[in-house]
Amino acid sequence: MKPFVYITRKLPEEVVTPLREKYEVKMWDKEDVIVPRTVLLEEASKADALLTMLSDQIDEELLSAGEQLKVVANLAVGYDNIDIEAATKRGVTICNTPDVLTDSTADLTFGLLMAAARRIVEGAEFIKAGQWKSWSPLLLAGYDIHHKTIGIVGMGSIGSTVAKRATGFDMEILYHNRSRKMEVESELGATYCSFDELVERSDFIVCLTPLTAETKDLFTRDVFKRMKKTAVFVNASRGPVVNEQELYEALKEGDIAAAGLDVFDKEPIDETHPLLTLSNVVAIPHIGSASIETRMKMMNLCVENIDLILSGQEPKTHVNK
């Protein structure tokens, strides 16, 4: 029998064809609906390979059900949805999609920064609502980006690329990371500093840190109070690194000026979420890597990794090597 591959979201047929030519493939038939847990568990129990989304929980329960599972290819850079220790213990290879989405996510992150600072979304809604009656000196006035200080929390490949974008705006670049990045310091003039110093000095605080036990709820009301009142906060990493209720209170009470958010604690968020009631919040639905070119590269990399593992070879991006 051919190895069985289960794909947890509907993907373009041209992406899936290389797998269909060699393996038995089954795919969840909806693009925008999460595969039900019961279905995922049932399919995993038969699968040699899973191609998963960030919204799929690959935990102890699922891994123990997948007795013949060899590989999980996650359509994301992050893999906080996967119990890496449990997978490693069972000899299941975990793959992700780094590098191919770095530039696209950095573009989106900087765009979110600009939109929040210059009130672009607010302005677009203002004019659509017929509220523009005349030109006014301070109508929807936001904050300049050029010659300001950007603080990047999490200087991985995406953080480094955001820093590169910042040089085009003549920004001072601060960063905080688990380890110093000497190449970023030498090439881009970035300065390593403590988290506290970054928070207090930066005009723009950009969160790109992975979600870990140490970074969960990293940004609290106390942290926001130590930022400049004119500061703009951007989160393009993972929602749980921010205490959302305390961010809401900080924005509402004027502790900081604005926020740009691509990720949330629970996704998708409800349209009644308190943060969505604030005009100084630009919220988008976790689309950091969502360009057509990049998403296709991510899908193709997942397919390639699955094929390599099922063919007895080393995958291109092996998380738990």
Catalytic residues: 238, 267, 286
Q: Rounded distance, CA 160 to CA 145, Å?
A: 18
- By three-state DSSP, how is residue 35 classified? coil
Cα atoms in the 13 Å half-sphere on the side-chain side of 7: 25
For residues 239 and 321, give the distance between their C-alpha atoms in angstroms, rounded to a whole number: 27
Burial of 278 (0-12, 13-18, 19+ CB in 10 A): middle
Residue 294 contacts residue 100 (beta carbons within 8 Å): yes
Any idea which residue has 């990047």 for tokens? 152
- Number of neighbours of residue 240 by Cβ within 10 angstroms: 17
Decide if 78 contacts 238 (C-beta within 8 A): yes
The sign of the CA dihedral 58, 59, 61, 63 is positive
Residue labelled with tokens 């975990």: 94
Query: What is the three-class DSSP state of 138?
Result: coil
Residues linked to residue 95 through DSSP beta bridges, in sequence order: 73, 318
Q: Which two tokens stand for residue 101?
A: 């989405």
Is there a contact between 205 and 153 (Cβ–Cβ < 8 Å)? yes
| CB of 154 closer than 8 Å to CB of 204 | no
> How many other C-beta atoms lie within 10 A of the C-beta of residue 59?
13
